[in-house]
Chain A
Amino acid sequence: MKIYRILFIGVAILLMLPGCGEDFFNLDKEPQDMISDAAVFKDERLVESYIAQIYHQIPWHQGELNTPANMILIEGMGAVARCYAYWQIPASFPLEVIDENGSDAIDYWPYDNIRYANEFIINLQQADFDQEFIDHRVAETRFLRAYMYFQMVIRFGGVSIITEPQAVDAPPEELNVARNSEKEVYDFIASEMDAIIPILDEDADAGRVNKYAALALKSQAMLFAASVAQFDGSQQLNGLLGIPAGEATAYWQKSYDASWEIISSGKYSLYNKIPGDPAENFQQLFVDENNPERIFVEVYDPALAKGHSWGVGAVPFEFRQTWGSNFCPFLNIIEEFEYADGRPGAIDRDLIESNHLFDIDSVFRNRDPRFLATIFFPESDWQGGKVYFHRRTVVGTDTITSGKVGDDWPAAAGNRNSVNTGFLTRKRMDESEIGPLRETSDEDYMIYRYGKILLNFAEAAFYLGKTAEVLEYVNMIRERAGMPQLGSITEEAIRHERTVELVFEENRYWDLRRWRIAHELLDGMRTKGLQYSYYYNEDKYDFILKNGDPSSRTFQQRHYYLPLGVTRIADNPNLVENPGY
């Protein structure tokens, strides 16, 4: 019968097929694009890649161009400069009222990176590498972790110190960590630095943590701790916030000692390659990478696919290829710069009101050489041309707003220059970089430079009563800057020097906070700018005083400690919110 024949052949063929489709019918597939956990701690290159990610995730300076966390944000918060033109979104972030929802743009809560560092420290210590390699990388990571805690403690006060990765199956009471006190966090930073300083190298490649970076962090952190004790001294939330006033001296001393260890090592000095031209020297300080002032930097090199965007943000309108004129300093910071002979830099408001015609040379060019290297003002020289800011040109009785007057005088500057604050940021710019684009700027960012350590040292010395040292070191800074020496020293003079020397280095806002003068200065403050009319026949300018921001600023007492925010409070019953939110 047919059927039997068929079945016979069918069975025969079936038997000949070996294990039908075991390979084809396969449900055990694996992802093809991941490196396994086990592989990482067997290969030094992968370990370096791991630590590179920890470095990378730390915002050493604000690096984004046009987001809330933009490159000029911290200066914006400190009322140094406006972030972008007032019709652009980032301009509003420093004006926001920081409330119970969190601190938005300047928030920082890097527990993911801390966990990543904690995992690294544990795993590397168990790995089978050369012990020196292990010790160095662990020490480096402890620095990075401490730096993150420093960035948190200056925002929130006490935060939870977590030094080991928490287990997934840990009980809630273990996972819901409470906050450590502000003092504990500062002390943790100090003790961590003390522990790793003996291990870290004296010298390391640019970009890698060395012994002096650790000392610099300690100098900086102790300065902050001392300030909190000295200028606030109160305790809140059962000691989570604040450091008793009586402990100020100890912290000043720690900062002083750390700074002194750097100074006395003799490894660093103030950049002074162009002694005859202090303005150009100061400009080059941030450009020249062969520079004895660099203690710890973030390295940029577009040729290695990592460039930054300071140039494209800051470059004046006339010299831009694409963006530009985004970092607009307020008149308030302009006036902080003394005249070259040491006179205070304020411009007489009555003169401005009275249609006085100003001579640019006497009102701007004749200032602290650092001013010339920090700020673009009307007719600043740049790349063989000039930067203009005037809105109109007056010739006799005619007002001209477009075209040219004579052969080469533009009747009005570009809109972005003339309608903003009347100044632009020049510091950290490289005059040899033509038409910077996004991520084409290559200047390394100096996280810690020697000049800052000298100022830390001077400030700590002041509160320790070592007036002679204060004067010596402040004058070292002024001498390099090309400014007259001070004969005596005051708290105000130290703060003034710090402001002008370190402006646009993400410093002022944090200083105002730790000195506890931010609420006096910033609350209700309406920043100012200038509008210029150029008088052609007189070769002089009429100044019109204008508001720099679209609204006044707020800085209330509660803002000395930023809010953790409702969601963080909601997900951990042991976290307490800072007062006032």
Chain B
Amino acid sequence: MKRACKKPLTLFKLFCASKISIITMLILLFAMVQVMEGNSNPSSDLAFQEIPITGKVSCIAGEPLPGVNVIIKGTTLGAITELEGKYTLDVPNVQAVLQFSYVGFLVQEVTVGSQRRIDITLTEDVIGLEEIVVIGYGTRKKVNLTGAVATVQSDELEKITSINSTNLLEGQMSGVITKQVSGQPGADNTSISIRGFGDPLVLVDGEERSFSSVDPNMIESISVLKDASAAIYGARSGNGVILVTTKRGSMDLKPKITYQFNYSMQQFTHKPGLITDAGRYLDLWVEAEENVELLPTYTQEEIALWYEGSGRYKSYDWFDWAYRNWAPRQKHNLSVQGGSSKMSYYVGLGLSDQQSVISSDDWYYKRYNILSNIDGSITDHLSFSLDLSYSNEHQSETGAQEVLNWVYKAQPMAPTSFEGSDKTPASNLYGTHQRVVGGIYKDIQGGIDAIPNRFNGRFELKYDFPFLTGMSAGVSLDYRYINRRTKEIRRQWEVYVQNPETGEITLDGRFPADVINNGVWIDDYESRRLKPKFEIRFNRNFGDHSVDALFLGEYFDDIVNEINTHTQNLLSNDLMYLGLGDKTYHELNQRVEESSRASIAGRVNYGFRGKYLAEATFRYDASSFFPPDTRWGFFPSFSAGWRISEEAFMMNTDWLNNLKLRASYSETGYDLNAIRYDYFAGYNVLTTPPYLIGPDAYRRIQIGTLPNPFMTWEKMTNYNVGLDANMWDGLMNIVVEGFYRKRTDILATPQQSFPSTFGASLSQQNLNSMDDRGFELELSHLNQVGEVKYSIRGVFTYARSKWIHYEEEEYTSEDDIRILQRSGNWVNRSIGYVSDGLFRSQAEIDESPVDQDQAGNTTLIPGDIRYKDLNGDGVITWADQEYIGYGTGEPDLNFGLNLGAEYKGFSLGILFQGGSMYSGNISGLARVPFQNASSPFEIHWQERFHETKNPNGTQPSVSMGVREHNAKSSDFWLRSITYLRLENVNLSYYFPKKWISPMRIQNLHIYVAANNLAVISNLGIWRSEFDPEAPLSNNNYPPHRTITFGVNITL
């Protein structure tokens, strides 16, 4: 497949191959020379007389500030204040300007002049204009940003006590849309999208890593790049980028030893209310049979006995049995942070341990994190960083989806245990799904242990050119290694039933149902990435002009090697090892995938008097997943900012701290949807089952899709305008963003030219296009009244996508256009039938002018759904469907409200979070009670229609068997959802310094926090059954509510 090099490749080689080597060599040589020549201070070349300066830095309240950076402006020379806020420093001349900077305070500059003692009072940066924000491949002061970047810092993040980092962002930032569907330990990720764009690129310290496995306590900040600011990441940045930055030490920082601990109690946010008494269960069962004219299985006399509930007619609450009310979770984090004049470090160790609400101890998630970020200077111009991190996770379960299903399919007539026997009882007396008891225990049913180990290491050398101030170069090597071993054991086990009269216990069934599902499965996934990178930076001010430039090259070399093997039909149930299986069912597979990517990128940022700001970036990206001709892509971006508040005509407006107008444009890409190597033609080998001919078993081969030699990534064009305004020193702060994004070349299966008789699946092509538009609003108010400091921040995001072109037939009929056509329509919508209540009697069915079932309504019964005949042709057909609501994906509208207050040592944070403009579909057992002899909901008892027993019921009559008529996709089941959740409440108490200082404690605080405390939604009768973010169905593990107690202590 070798072809002539395309121009970009030559370009890349020129830059990458030669430059990397040249620069690497030069830097190493510089280093050697520097080391050989000893520690010569370049400023010593300047033969000026030095002036000694001393002073003290304190805050407005008068407390001394240790750790403040004091720098001679335009140099790297400086000092750091000591414990009492004192510093000493030699300056070269009286024109020298001292710059005082400290995290959370406004930078102050003082010209030395005749002063020899300079005491400074720093003002807190309430608004955060001076805040240093992490952006792509660098940092920037917030005030100088030209793009839409949202950030959240560790102090805010620590109020959320989750152990899963993906849960930290709910409701925090505008433009970030979240949805958490499950609370299962180890599988409780919150899906995050930026402006509804889809999965963003998440980078942890610049490298693609698992966000969920980062210890939240080790995160310093999270930045979200929403517009052209992400474009520096090129082909993968189109959906926005999330940058997670871990903590680091800083030079001359007194060592801080911090221990953080919290303990949580977790429970389900929503525990479905099932009928747990056998009397009503059987009563409804018989009603369901009678409704469809089936012979009642139970007589009224029998049901009466179950209602009475004595002796053998006792009822059992399986939900109660299977779930505990509270499950524990704990988290420890121990870290050391500090630095000398040459070296700084952050070393942390984290431990998380989460149990499940399922009442066996076999469901849990554990994680160990180790992080070591070390920075050091080798010489005055050469420095290095060594970042190492390792995490080990262990998720244990027995198969959540199935088990949750079985709990719903347990019957209250079935006992949860036998008296005088430890045999496993059947949970359903109708011969299917009777295995709840064993299902939750690993030593009975077996289970799944997933153990990912992740190692990341980065070594970086950085050189500041002594002969060109502001110029620096760096090389780094990233290494990422992931090993994920999953071991699944399925034992064959037995359930029993007890004869209530004789007490005899007999075998009811063995599980799993098939010999081939009893055995050991091992999957060993290994992934290795090597990423060399070089960069050159130039950052300098020339009078009124400031320039910040970056040029970099990266290469990604990936190998994935996955081996999975299983063996079945083991010799013994107690010895679950690979070697003990039946040789017929041994299976061994391997997947090897090699891939690589190469990139060069550059950025120039220009500022004039901090007033006019402009930035341009470009990136060339290539991926081996694409054919050579379409492999390279060029992604440019431009952005500009105008700080109106800095203009002369605005200088008199004291109330206005900052007013900035921003605009950006970028062209980016997205390659993660692409099917890899789809431009190859080839066959896959399928091994099981073989096809048997005579004595021979033939493995089969299947052709892949027809190759597409032109496939490439999606392209996206982003536009953004933004306005930042800060007024009255923080009393009112506004960020408004408006955005529009156009996606083209979205991969889609070609439709138009190929009818169903063509017979081949075509590989995807870059065919579809859509656009997104929306706006964001962030309003905040920061104030202090007496000793109470408080803040209110509201965020609001609206984002909606529309198909410009969706690959489909050219529809001509009105019905096709309304029901099938997506081009020109919102992405987020559902199509279905329109319901019109229920038929409440046979007479209503007989009188119905509309043929509902295309069989003259002969299959209907009272209590069935009535559909509207939209086209008035007298019969309900496919053509009677229309738009019935939003889609069931992510909400188009997201909002959050963050309230904070501090008084003396107390700190209170309250976070509300909500969403709207999306739908949920009542489905599964909530829609069809008794399916697979399951337990109905209380709601079915209360709300089901019955002509005499419950004539006002709002739900269809219960029936045995699925009534396809009622199961149609319709607005009867689709609910448009709006919800508001009390996401988090955190009350902390910081012990006063005067109490803890004598004990050599720098900081001590304790807190109590609650997550997911309450939610209100418009789910109506289903409100208490389902979490509005989770699927409205039975086989989902609902999110957790947690109450947490914690302590943080820093020595």
B697 touches A32 (CB 8 A): no
How far, in Å, is A573 (CB) from chain B's closest CB?
Answer: 9
How far, in Å, is B461 (CB) from chain A's closest CB?
Answer: 15
B1 touches A30 (CB 8 A): yes
Query: Which residue of chain A has the shortest Cβ distance to B568 in the bound complex?
Result: A305
A49 touches B700 (CB 8 A): yes
Q: Which of B29, B302, B701 contacts A49 (CB 8 A)?
A: B701
How far, in Å, is A244 (CB) from chain B's closest CB?
Answer: 26
Q: Which of B489-515 contact A (CB under 8 A)?
A: 499-502, 509-515
Interface of B, helix, strand, loop or mixed by DSSP = mixed
- Residues on B with C-beta less than 8 A from A544 are 295
- Residues on A with C-beta less than 8 A from B11 are none
Query: Which residue of chain A has the shortest Cβ distance to B689 in the bound complex?
Result: A306
How far, in Å, is B981 (CB) from chain A's closest CB?
Answer: 34
Q: Mark A79-91, 1 if CB is under 8 A from B, else 0.
A: 0000001111101
- Residues on B with C-beta less than 8 A from A95 are 859, 961, 964
- Residues on A with C-beta less than 8 A from B751 are 571
Interface-forming stretch among B100-108, B223-231, B925-933?
B925-933
A36 touches B681 (CB 8 A): yes
B501 touches A100 (CB 8 A): no
B342 within 8 A of A: no
B700 touches A99 (CB 8 A): no
B859 touches A50 (CB 8 A): no
B653 within 8 A of A: no
A208 touches B694 (CB 8 A): yes
- Residues on B with C-beta less than 8 A from A165 are 759-760
Q: Mark A439-483, 1 if CB is under 8 A from B, else 0.
A: 110000000000000000000000000000000000000000000
Q: Which of A100, A206, A312, A415 contacts B430 (CB 8 A)?
A: A415
A323 to B517, CA, bound (A): 14
A34 touches B704 (CB 8 A): yes
A560 to B189, CA, bound (A): 51
B693 touches A208 (CB 8 A): yes
Interface-forming stretch among A351-359, A396-404, A501-509?
A396-404
- Residues on A with C-beta less than 8 A from B691 are 52-53, 55-56, 207, 306
- Residues on A with C-beta less than 8 A from B688 are 305-306
B63 within 8 A of A: no
B622 within 8 A of A: yes
Q: Which of B745-766 contact A (CB under 8 A)?
A: 751, 753-762
A-B Cβ contacts below 8 A, count: 335
A299 within 8 A of B: yes
B700 touches A56 (CB 8 A): yes
A364 to B680, CA, bound (A): 63
- Residues on B with C-beta less than 8 A from A438 are 512-517
Q: Mark B278-294, 1 if CB is under 8 A from A, else 0.
A: 00000000000000111
A291 within 8 A of B: no
How many residues of chain B get a CB closer than 8 Å to chain A's CBs?
117
How far, in Å, is B590 (CB) from chain A's closest CB?
Answer: 8
Evaluate whether A87 and B961 lie within 8 angstroms (CB atoms) in the complex, with A27-B624, A31-B593, A317-B431 already known: yes
B692 touches A25 (CB 8 A): no
- Residues on A with C-beta less than 8 A from B932 are 87-89
Query: Which residue of chain A has the shortest Cβ distance to B285 in the bound complex?
Result: A87
How far, in Å, is A93 (CB) from chain B's closest CB?
Answer: 9
Q: Which of B504-538 contact A (CB under 8 A)?
A: 509-517
Query: Which residue of chain B has the shortest Cβ distance to A551 in the bound complex?
Result: B859
B585 within 8 A of A: yes
Interface of A, helix, strand, loop or mixed by DSSP = loop
B294 touches A86 (CB 8 A): yes
A380 within 8 A of B: no
B517 touches A40 (CB 8 A): no
B960 touches A86 (CB 8 A): yes
B432 within 8 A of A: yes
Max chain B Cβ within 10 angstroms of own Cβ: one of A14, A20, A40, A172: A20
A326 to B502, CA, bound (A): 28
B695 touches A205 (CB 8 A): yes
Query: Which residue of chain B has the shortest Cβ distance to A119 in the bound complex?
Result: B703
A112 within 8 A of B: yes
A343 within 8 A of B: no
Query: Which residue of chain A has the shortest Cβ distance to B703 in the bound complex?
Result: A116
B16 touches A34 (CB 8 A): no
B431 touches A324 (CB 8 A): yes
A521 within 8 A of B: no
A59 within 8 A of B: no
B703 touches A571 (CB 8 A): no
A49 to B697, CA, bound (A): 10
B652 within 8 A of A: no
B60 within 8 A of A: no
How far, in Å, is B36 (CB) from chain A's closest CB?
Answer: 10
A206 touches B429 (CB 8 A): no
How far, in Å, is B605 (CB) from chain A's closest CB?
Answer: 29
B9 within 8 A of A: yes
Max chain B Cβ within 10 angstroms of own Cβ: one of A49, A166, A547: A49
A516 within 8 A of B: no
Query: Which residue of chain A has the shortest Cβ distance to B626 in the bound complex?
Result: A27
Q: Which of A52, A86, A168, A414 contacts B699 (CB 8 A)?
A: A52
Evaluate whether A175 and B755 lie within 8 angstroms (CB atoms) in the complex, with A9-B29, A87-B931, A92-B964 already known: yes
Query: Which residue of chain B has the shortest Cβ distance to A320 in the bound complex?
Result: B509
- Residues on B with C-beta less than 8 A from A325 are 431
Q: Which of B533-582 contact A (CB under 8 A)?
A: 555, 557
B672 within 8 A of A: no
A176 touches B755 (CB 8 A): yes
Interface-forming stretch among B17-25, B136-144, B366-374?
B17-25
A57 to B644, CA, bound (A): 69
Q: Which of B624, B683, B697, B930 contacts A304 (CB 8 A)?
A: B697
A97 touches B513 (CB 8 A): no
A272 within 8 A of B: no
A29 to B597, CA, bound (A): 10
Q: Mark B679-714, 1 if CB is under 8 A from A, else 0.
A: 011111110111111111111111110100000000
A90 to B646, CA, bound (A): 72
A114 to B758, CA, bound (A): 9
A207 touches B701 (CB 8 A): no
B69 within 8 A of A: no
A109 within 8 A of B: yes
A88 to B759, CA, bound (A): 34
A70 to B690, CA, bound (A): 20
Q: Which of B590-637 contact A (CB under 8 A)?
A: 591-598, 622-624, 628, 631
A175 touches B681 (CB 8 A): no
Q: Which of B295, B430, B962 contacts A531 (CB 8 A)?
A: B295
A22 to B13, CA, bound (A): 9
B962 touches A92 (CB 8 A): yes
A29 touches B595 (CB 8 A): yes
- Residues on B with C-beta less than 8 A from A324 are 431
A37 within 8 A of B: yes
B624 touches A28 (CB 8 A): yes
A-B contact pairs, 15 of them (CB 8 A): A10-B29, A14-B18, A52-B698, A86-B294, A88-B931, A97-B854, A168-B762, A323-B432, A402-B499, A440-B515, A524-B858, A544-B295, A552-B858, A568-B756, A571-B751
> Which 10 pairs across A and B sit closest by C-beta, in order of nearness?
A403-B501, A205-B694, A438-B514, A115-B759, A34-B682, A572-B755, A546-B295, A52-B698, A550-B961, A322-B513
Q: A312-B514, A571-B751, A571-B756 are in contact. List 11 more A-B contacts (CB 8 A).
A: A5-B33, A6-B30, A20-B17, A27-B597, A27-B631, A31-B593, A33-B591, A35-B701, A119-B703, A168-B706, A322-B513
